[in-house]
């Protein structure tokens, strides 16, 4: 597929303080998905796998993370020679910091994702007990068009489990997520801030259908 008009925040070098949102050149996304559901007697298996290869179009932007310290104090300067430059105002030559990211992987586009769950339904008279184990995997991905160690979110694999008790219209579920209590990144903004995923969580849900 062609991904057109991807909106992305950029630094406009010709305008002071110029953070703005623009539409990037079309990028391409190619991939394949596979899913399967199977049940043999009491045993059930669900499997899903997806592979994606994305590629940015012709894009040249300013990598603000590469700028020298103090260039924009107290406010970002406009590009030297810009028509918007005020008479006698300070300017900065951003041109050496422009970077082509054409052909790079789209932001937030892991190449490989997958999940598998295995459950075993146990009949208990008019009720049922269904224990289930799940595993999900997300490949490494970048949070920016500028691919560097500071914008990289490493791959992660998370283990979870559920125990469902179903009787009539009622369902009671005991669940656990991230059972290994894995510490992992869920996002970052060029290293200025990093965001961690949820730790191990245990809980109970009760649901009634009508």
Residues 36, 47: contact at Cβ < 8 Å? yes
Which pLDDT score, from 0 to 100, does residue 43 have? 96
Which pLDDT score, from 0 to 100, does residue 72 have? 64
Long-range contacts, stretch 80-89, CB < 8 angstroms, 24+ apart: 82/13, 82/14, 82/15, 83/14, 84/14, 84/15, 84/16
Question: 65-74, 80-89, 183-192: which has the minimum mean pLDDT?
Answer: 65-74
Residues 137, 115: contact at Cβ < 8 Å? yes
Helices then strands (H, E): number in the chain?
0, 19
Which pLDDT score, from 0 to 100, does residue 150 have? 86
Integer angstrom CA distances of residue 191 from 103, 124, 150, 152? 23, 53, 5, 9
- pLDDT tens across 48-66, in order? 999 999 999 998 988 877 8
- pLDDT tens across 147-157, in order? 888 889 999 99
Higher-pLDDT residue of 177 and 17 is 177
Domain borders along the chain are 2-208
Q: Which CATH architecture has domain 2-208?
A: Beta Barrel (2.40)
Average pLDDT over residues 18-24: 82
């Amino acid at each position: 597929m062609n991904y057109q008009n991807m909106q992305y925040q950029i630094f406009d070098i010709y305008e002071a303080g110029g953070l703005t949102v623009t539409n990037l050149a079309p990028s391409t996304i190619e991939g394949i998905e596979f899913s399967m559901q199977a049940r043999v007697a009491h045993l059930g298996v669900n499997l899903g796998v997806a592979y994606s290869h994305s590629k940015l179009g012709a894009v040249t932007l300013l990598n603000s993370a590469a700028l020298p310290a103090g260039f924009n104090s107290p406010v970002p300067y406009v590009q030297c020679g810009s028509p918007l430059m005020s008479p006698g105002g300070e300017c900065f030559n951003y041109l050496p910091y422009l970077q082509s990211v054409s052909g790079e992987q789209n932001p937030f586009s892991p190449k490989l994702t997958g999940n598998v769950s295995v459950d075993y339904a146990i009949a208990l008279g008019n009720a049922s007990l269904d224990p289930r184990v799940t595993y999900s995997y997300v490949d490494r991905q970048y949070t920016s068009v500028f691919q560097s160690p500071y914008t990289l979110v490493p791959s992660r694999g998370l283990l979870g489990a559920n125990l469902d008790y179903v009787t009539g219209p009622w369902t009671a579920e005991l669940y656990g997520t991230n059972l290994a209590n894995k510490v992992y990144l869920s996002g970052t903004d060029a290293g200025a801030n990093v965001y961690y995923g949820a730790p191990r969580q245990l809980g109970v849900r009760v649901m009634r259908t009508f």
